[in-house]
Structure 1
C-alpha cells in the first residue's frame, strides 16, 4: 500500500461531491481518478474538485470499467444507486481494487452476503460507507452510555426526514433504482439504535406507500437488550427534526442532527420522583470530526488498508449484514419488494 491512499470515485453525483470535499481534508488521501457513464460528467467532477481544492485534476474515465482498471487506484468509492452496488463492487474486486460502498450496500441481504463473499474471495477490503459508525461523537456517546455513566437506557427516539421533490425517474423515487425512505433514511436511525442499544430483538414497521409501491414514510418500533425500546421514523414527504434522544433512568441525552452530529448533551434529573433537572452536561470526543464526518470514515479506510485489514472493526461485515437483514424484514412487513 502506498503512503497516500489513492481513491477512485465511481458515479460522481451529489453524495460523491460531499465525499470528495471531506476527502480533501484527510492527510495521505487523494482522488486520482473518477469514472462516470459519460466522460463529460467525469471531466466536470474532476475539474470542479481541482478548482475547489487547489490540486491536480483526477483522471477522468468515461466508463466504470475504465475507472476500476486504472492502475493508480487503490480503493474505489461506490456512489452509484443501491440497485447497482453489487454489480459495481464485483467489477472493482475483479480488478483487484478495495471498496468503500455507499449505504445501504445492496437492496437485499442476499446481495450483501454475495458482496462480502466476493470481497473475501478476492482478498480485498470492503466497508459500508456508514459514517455514523465512524463519527467521533457517536462513538464516544456509545462508549459512555455503555459504561453506565448516563444510567440505563430505556427509550431511544431518532427521526430523519426531508421532502424529496424530484422527477419520477430520479433514484429517490424510481422503484427500479431501489427508491425507499427506509433504505435511504431509515438506515440511519436503525444504525444509531444498534450502535447505542445493541442488536434489536424485535422490530415492527408501518408505512405509507406511493402509487408505485415505494415507502415514502415509515415508522419503526423496536425492542432491544435490557428491555430498552426505540421509536424510529424516516420520511421523503416531510421535514423532521433529524434529532435523536435517549431517555435513561438518570436523565436524557439529546443529539440534534444525529446523522451528522455536532453536539450531544446529557441532562440529569433529580431523584425521588422530582422532575427538576440539573444543568446539561456537554458530551465531547477527543478525536476531531473531519468535515461533515465523511473524512473520519475515509481516514478509517486508510488506517485499515495500511494495517492490511479486510474489514473495519468500526463497520464490520457482520454489522452490515445484520442491518441489511433488518431492512429486509421491515420491507416485507410494509409490503415493499424489489424486482
Structure 2
C-alpha cells in the first residue's frame, strides 16, 4: 500500500556535487519511473549552471545551502568527496530532506552513527548509494542464494582493482581527501560479502601495501564468518584486477563477472546445465538505486531493506577494524 507523504507524485531529485559520479547518476535519472532530475548545487554558480544545462535541470544553485533551501526538492543525492559526506548529509537532514549518499557512506562508523541518529530523530529516509546492490544480476544472485540453489554457502571471493595515475594531488592518492583502495575499491567486495553472509565476521586477517603518498594502494582481507564460512577479498587503485565475484556453495557456485557493474551472472549447479542471467539494460545502472529510493519514499519507509542502515553501519565498522589493523588514520579524523 502506498501511504507515504510523497504518494502520487514524481520525486524531484537535488544533486549535491558536479563530479563524474554525479554526472553518471543524473544521466541515469531519465530511466527512473518515480523520480526526475530537478536541481543541482555546486560550490560555484558557473559549475552549477553548466551541469544543469548539460542535464536539462530547471534549477542550479551556486551553493549547497541554496539547494537544501529549495522547498520543491524532495530528495538529495550526495556526490561530494568522502570527507565532506558527514557535513553534507547532516545539513540535508537538518533541512528536512531525504538523502541518498554516495559510497562509502562515511569515513568512519562514529560519523555514520551520528547521521543515523539524526535521520531517526527527524523521521527521514537515509540510504547508502551502494548501486551494485540493486543491479539485476546481483538481485538474481541473491534470489539464487535465497532459493538454496547452490546449497550451504561456504566461500565468497571478490575483488575490485584498477590502475590510477600517481598524481599526489588527485583524490585517490591524497590522504587528506580519504584516498586509498579501501574506501574507493574495497568497499565493493566487502559489501558483497556482507550481502551474502548477512553477518559480521568473527575474525579479520588483512595485509596492505602503502604507496609514496601514504594511502593504501593495495590490500587483501580474509574474513572468517565461522562454521567453515569465509570471504577472500581484494582491492587496489594501482593494480588492474579481474573484478569478478564468486559464491561457492556445497552444491554449486555463482560467478558474477565485473560484479561492481554486473551485467551477467552464471549459476553452476553440480550435474546441471549452467543457468545464465543476462541484463540487457540501457541505463548505466544508477537508475536502479534511484528507483529503490523512490519506492521506499512512496511507501513511507525510512530505509531500504536491501541495504539497511544497520548493515551499512556494520560494513563501516568492518572498514574501521581493517584500518585499525593497518594503523591507518586519516589526517582529518
Aligned pair partner of 2:283 in 285, 288, 291: 291
Q: Cα gap change, 1:78/1:106 in structure 2, threshold over 3 Å: closer, same or farther? A: same
Compute the displacement of 1:289 (Å).
5.2
1:18 aligns with 2:12: no
Q: CA deviation at 1:172?
A: 1.3
1:32 Cα shift? 1.0
Distance in 2 separating the partners of 1:166 and 1:66: 36
Q: State the match for 2:36 in structure 1.
A: 30
CA offset digits 1:118-137 (Å, max 9, x no partner): 11122211000011222232
Contact 1:22 1:293 in 2 (8 A): yes
Deviations along 1:78-122, one digit per CA (max 9) or x if unpaired, are 000110111001111121111100011111000000111111122
Aligned length: 324
Query: How far apart in 1 are the matches of 2:206 and 2:196?
Result: 20
**Counterpart of 1:264?**
265
Distance 1:121 1:249 in 2: 44
Alignment-derived partner of residue 322 in structure 1: 314
Does residue 282 (structure 1) correspond to residue 288 (structure 2)? The answer is no
Tell me which moved more, 58-67 or 164-173.
164-173
Query: 191-200 or 296-305: which moved more?
Result: 191-200
Match of 1:108 in 2: 108
| C-alpha distance in 1 between matches for 2:28 and 2:233 | 28
Residue of structure 2 equivalent to 1:305: 297
Q: Conserved in 2, the CA contact under 8 Å of 1:161 and 1:185?
A: yes
Whole-angstrom CA distance in 2 between matches of 1:81 and 1:62: 17
TM-superposed deviation, 1:151 = 2.1
Per the alignment, residue 275 of structure 1 pairs with: none
Q: Please state whether the residue corresponding to 2:145 is helix, strand or coil.
A: helix
Whether the 8 Å CA contact 2:150–2:248 is kept in 1: the answer is no
Distance 1:184 1:175, change over 3 A: same
The aligned counterpart of 2:249 is: 248
The two structures have a TM-score, normalised by structure 1, of 0.91
Between stretches 97-106 and 289-298, larger displacement belongs to 289-298
Partner of 2:3: none
The corresponding residue for 2:86 is: 86
Following superposition, the deviation at residue 284 of structure 1 comes to 6.3
Residues 141 and 254, structure 2, Cα contact 8 Å, conserved in 1? no
What TM-score comes out, normalization by structure 2 length?
0.92
In structure 1, the residue matched to 2:134 is 134
Query: 1:213–1:336: 8 Å Cα contact kept in structure 2?
Result: no
Deviations, residues 147-184 of structure 1 (Å, cap 9, x unaligned): 32112222211110001126322221111111121111
Unaligned 5+ runs, structure 1: 51-56, 271-277
Q: Secondary structure in 2 aligned to 1:30?
A: strand
Q: Indicate the residue corresponding to 2:180 in structure 1.
A: 180
Q: Residues 160 and 189 of structure 2 are in contact (CA less than 8 Å); yes or no, is this contact kept in structure 1?
A: yes
Helix, strand or coil for the counterpart of 2:288? helix
Once superposed, what is the RMSD of the aligned Cα atoms?
A: 1.7
Aligned with 1:238: secondary structure?
coil
Q: Secondary structure at the match of 2:14?
A: strand
Tell me whether 1:206 sits opposite 2:207 in the alignment: yes
Residue 58, structure 1, aligned to residue 54, structure 2: no
Tell me the distance in 2 between the aligned counterparts of 1:97 and 1:85: 15
Instruction: Say if 1:282 and 1:225 are closer, same or farther in 2 by CA, change over 3 A.
Output: farther
Query: Structure 2 CA distance, aligned partners of 1:194 and 1:30?
Result: 31
Mapped contact 2:149–2:269 kept (Cα < 8 A): no
- Separation (CA, whole Å) in 2 of partners of 1:215 and 1:196: 26
3-state SS, counterpart of residue 167 of structure 1: coil
| Pairing of 1:225-236 with structure 2 (within 5 A) | 225-236=226-237
Pairwise CA distance, 1:217: 0.4
